[in-house]
Structure 1
Amino acid sequence: MEVQIRNATNADAPAISRTIVDALRESNAQDYSSDIIDQLVQDFSPAAVLHRMTGRHVLVAVIDSRIVATASLDDNVVRSVFVDPLYQGRGIGRRLMQRIQSIALGRGLKHVCVPSSITAEGFYASLGFKKIRDEFHQSERTIIMAKTLKRCGDA
């Protein structure tokens, strides 16, 4: 299984949307009500994804010409990290996060934060992110996490 990580293009928006929606409906649905999932699905329509792409550095992971994961960087905030449920647990999310952090370092950022779902909190913690606080958007709980970035050789 060869995974290619590349910058997303506008033409990728429908496939990115599909990947996110599949992850929301299968993975995140274990931790959130169907009402919250339904709202999030609307928030990640192809048009909404395309609109968000204008202000973010968006990456996709591709296997056999199929987009199987995505992640983005919006200033110092990591956003929309999703892996197709069929490909979860294979290190793809970890590789995307390594690339995102590399981009952040290249921009001179010292810290990044991520608004994590309940579902992904353990994943981000395994990457060295620390919980800062909880935020609630109506009944949707989001865990704000942060990480200090270090260049190779930094103490």
Structure 2
Amino acid sequence: MNNEIRLANPQDAAAISQVIIQSLRQSNAQDYSAEIIAQVETSFSTESILLLLSQRQVFVATLDHQVVATASLDHDIIRSVFVAPDHQGSGIGRQLMTTLQSVARDANIKILRVPSSITAEGFYLKLGFQKIRDEFHGVERTIIMAQRLSPD
């Protein structure tokens, strides 16, 4: 299979939206209510993704030219890390995170932060992130995590 990690472009917006919504509905739904999932989904429509492309560095992972994962870097904050359910556990998320960490190091960022879902906390812990605190947006719990980057 042909695997690539690259910066996203506007033509990827619909596929990115689909990956995120699938992941929310299948993976995150184990830890969040249907109401929270529906609320979060509204932030990831194709139109919302197009806007995000102009605000932060959005990356995609593709397999055979199909978008199967996404993650973005917003200065020193990693956001919107999602892997299509059929590809979770295959190492694609780890590859995306390695790319974002490298981009952050190149930008001389010393500490990366990530607002993690309950679902992804274990993933980030395995990558060396540490829990800083919990934040609540209404009833939605987000775990703020951080990682000190060492120079390459």
- 1:27-60 Cα offsets, whole Å, 9 max, x none, are 0000000000001111110111111111111100
Aligned counterparts of 1:103 and 1:65: Cα–Cα separation in 2: 22
Aligned counterparts of 2:114 and 2:95: Cα–Cα separation in 1: 16
| 8 A Cα contact 2:2 2:65, kept in partner | no
Quick one: which amino acid aligns to residue 30 of structure 1?
Q
Shift of 1:2: 3.2
Given the two structures, how large is their TM-score scaled by the length of structure 1? Answer: 0.96
Gaps of 5+ in 1: none
Aligned counterparts of 1:14 and 1:97: Cα–Cα separation in 2: 22
Residue of structure 2 in register with 1:15 after alignment: 15
Question: 3-state SS of the aligned residue for 2:12?
Answer: helix
Residue of structure 2 in register with 1:103 after alignment: 103
How many correspondences in the alignment?
Answer: 152
Q: Percent identity?
A: 55
Shift of 1:97: 0.1
Gaps of 5+ in 2: none
Shift of 1:66: 0.6
Question: 3-state SS of the aligned residue for 1:132?
Answer: strand
Question: 3-state SS of the aligned residue for 2:37?
Answer: helix
Matches within 5 A, 1:83-122: 83-122=83-122
- 1:103-145 Cα offsets, whole Å, 9 max, x none, are 0000000010000000000000000000000000000000000
Tell me how large the CA RMSD over aligned residues is: 0.7
Given the two structures, how large is their TM-score scaled by the length of structure 2? Answer: 0.98
Aligned counterparts of 1:25 and 1:54: Cα–Cα separation in 2: 26
1:137 and 2:137 are equivalent in the alignment = yes
Shift of 1:151: 1.7
Shift of 1:10: 1.0
Quick one: which amino acid aligns to residue 147 of structure 1?
Q
Aligned counterparts of 2:33 and 2:145: Cα–Cα separation in 1: 22
